[in-house]
């Protein structure tokens, strides 16, 4: 068990989300950055969907009441009993130890995973917190969380190789699939969207990121549509011409025309962009987006096997580029 001593920012329990209920109007929710969350779970020997702590900008301080293995995802100063330790590495904590996670130096969302995950009451098959519907709640000082059972041998001391650590630039190129309501935008409006930088505004949250930048021109069809499904990464453009990227806590349907959908592999880059950061959009085909996702899933499987000692990785250079190759142990 752990006890939260200080909770300086929004901190929740999350997993990969609540699937299968959007037809009933219940959002998926779940982690904002699934790549980081899955990697930090691998570091402590968990599967992808193990419940973990997600925090915004600054992590909590906590006390351990039992021995466990933990790891922190995010570039921050981290201390165990006052001694500085590293992110993206698993450590053994004993009863009475205190963990402090300071402000993230880059990015928005950080994660803390524990071997065996966090025990929680699943609602509709998930531990994901969705505050708007009071499915779970924001964690606060004094909260005590039970940890799941885990065999702890050989899980501490695992470190994620640098080449697999995600980067959190505050300016990113985001790949998108245009549509599905392109007829609601003029040719000039689409060109504006693809050629202009857009800034993430402070009026952004887990539901969606509102962007500021050149106005995207609608066609005579206007901004409104018959209410339509909203996938992860959908980019709605209301009548003011300013795009909104819909994220983890998005509503299930909406009535604004969508100019594009963010490729799933780039959703974490969007989520980790701070207010004031800039995004540029690049159109790709559906098939390209699917191939990028397949490659990412293969990489994640290989990293998991690498941390489990089933694969080894080494770098090679070919055609002027550097590649990571995985081989069996």
Q: Smallest Cα–Cα separation from 244: which of 209, 214, 216, 279?
A: 209
Residues 203 and 140 reside in one and the same domain = no
Rounded to 10 degrees, the C-alpha dihedral 217/272/200/263 comes to 0
pLDDT at 202 over 80: yes
Q: What span, in angstroms and rounded, lies between the C-alpha atoms of 232 and 246?
A: 6
Question: What confidence tens digit (pLDDT) does each residue in 8-29 have?
Answer: 999 999 999 999 999 999 999 9
Residues 42 and 123 reside in one and the same domain = yes
Task: Please state, for a pLDDT cut of 70, what percent of the chain lies above it.
Answer: 97
Average pLDDT value for residue range 197-214: 98
Residues 34 and 149 reside in one and the same domain = yes
**Boundary residue ending a domain (144, 164, 184):** 164
Residues 33 and 144 reside in one and the same domain = yes
Burial tier of 155 (Cβ tally within 10 Å: 0-12, 13-18, 19+):
buried
The alpha-helical segments, DSSP class H, found in the chain are 34-43, 187-195, 267-271, 286-307
Six-digit token string for 147: 């940890």
Query: Where residue 248 sits, what CATH number does that domain have?
Result: 2.40.100.10
Residues 63 and 102 reside in one and the same domain = yes
Residues 52 and 154 reside in one and the same domain = yes
Domain count, the chain: 3
**Boundary residue ending a domain (139, 164, 189):** 164
Whether the CA torsion 85, 89, 91, 97 is positive or negative: it is positive
DSSP tag of 274: P
**Boundary residue ending a domain (103, 134, 164):** 164
User: Where does the pLDDT of residue 156 fall: very low under 50, low under 70, confident under 90, or very high at 90 and above?
Assistant: confident
Six-digit token string for 5: 């001593």
Model's pTM, two decimal places? 0.95
Measured N-to-C along each axis, helices 34-43 and 286-307 cross at an angle, to the nearest 10 degrees, of 20
Residues 270 and 293 reside in one and the same domain = no
Residues 17 and 84 reside in one and the same domain = yes
Residues 180 and 268 reside in one and the same domain = yes
Number of alpha carbons in the 13 Å side-chain half-sphere of residue 137 = 5
Residues 28 and 148 reside in one and the same domain = yes
The 3-state DSSP class for residue 231 equals coil
Six-digit token string for 15: 């997993």
pLDDT at 160 over 80: yes
Number of alpha carbons in the 13 Å side-chain half-sphere of residue 318 = 5
User: Where does the pLDDT of residue 319 fall: very low under 50, low under 70, confident under 90, or very high at 90 and above?
Assistant: low
Question: What confidence tens digit (pLDDT) does each residue in 188-198 have?
Answer: 999 999 999 99
Give residue 310's domain range. 289-328
Residues 190 and 219 reside in one and the same domain = yes
DSSP 129-170: -BGGGTBS----TT-EEPBPP---TT-TT-B--GGGSPP--S
Residues 70 and 153 reside in one and the same domain = yes
């Amino acid at each position: 068990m752990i006890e939260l001593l200080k909770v300086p920012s929004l901190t929740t329990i999350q997993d990969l989300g609540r699937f299968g209920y959007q037809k009933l109007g219940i959002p998926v929710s779940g982690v904002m950055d699934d790549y980081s969350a899955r990697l930090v779970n691998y570091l402590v020997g968990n599967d992808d969907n193990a419940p973990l702590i997600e925090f915004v900008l600054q992590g909590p301080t906590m006390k351990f009441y039992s021995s466990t293995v933990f790891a922190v995802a995010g570039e921050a100063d981290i201390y165990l009993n006052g001694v500085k330790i590293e992110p993206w590495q698993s450590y053994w904590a004993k009863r009475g130890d205190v963990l402090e996670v300071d402000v993230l130096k880059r990015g928005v969302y950080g994660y803390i995973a524990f071997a065996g995950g966090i025990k929680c009451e699943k609602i509709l098959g998930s531990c994901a917190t969705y505050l708007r519907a009071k499915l779970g709640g924001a964690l606060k000082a004094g909260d005590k969380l039970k940890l799941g059972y885990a065999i702890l041998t050989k899980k501490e001391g695992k470190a994620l190789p640098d080449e697999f650590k995600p980067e959190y630039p505050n300016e990113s190129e985001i790949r998108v699939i245009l549509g599905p309501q392109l007829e609601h935008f003029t040719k000039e409006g689409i060109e504006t969207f693809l050629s202009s930088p857009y800034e993430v505004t402070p009026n952004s949250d887990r539901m969606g990121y509102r962007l500021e930048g050149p106005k995207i021109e609608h066609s005579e069809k206007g901004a409104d549509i018959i209410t339509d499904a909203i996938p992860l990464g959908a980019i709605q453009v209301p009548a003011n011409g300013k795009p909104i990227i819909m994220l983890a806590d998005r509503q299930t349907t909406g009535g604004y025309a969508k100019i594009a959908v963010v490729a799933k592999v780039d959703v974490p880059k969007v989520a980790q962009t701070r207010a004031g950061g800039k995004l540029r959009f690049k159109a790709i085909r559906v098939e390209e987006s699917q191939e990028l996702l397949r490659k990412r899933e293969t990489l994640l499987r290989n990293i998991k096997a690498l941390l489990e000692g089933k694969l080894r990785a080494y770098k090679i250079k070919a055609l002027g580029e550097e590649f990571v190759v995985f081989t069996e142990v």
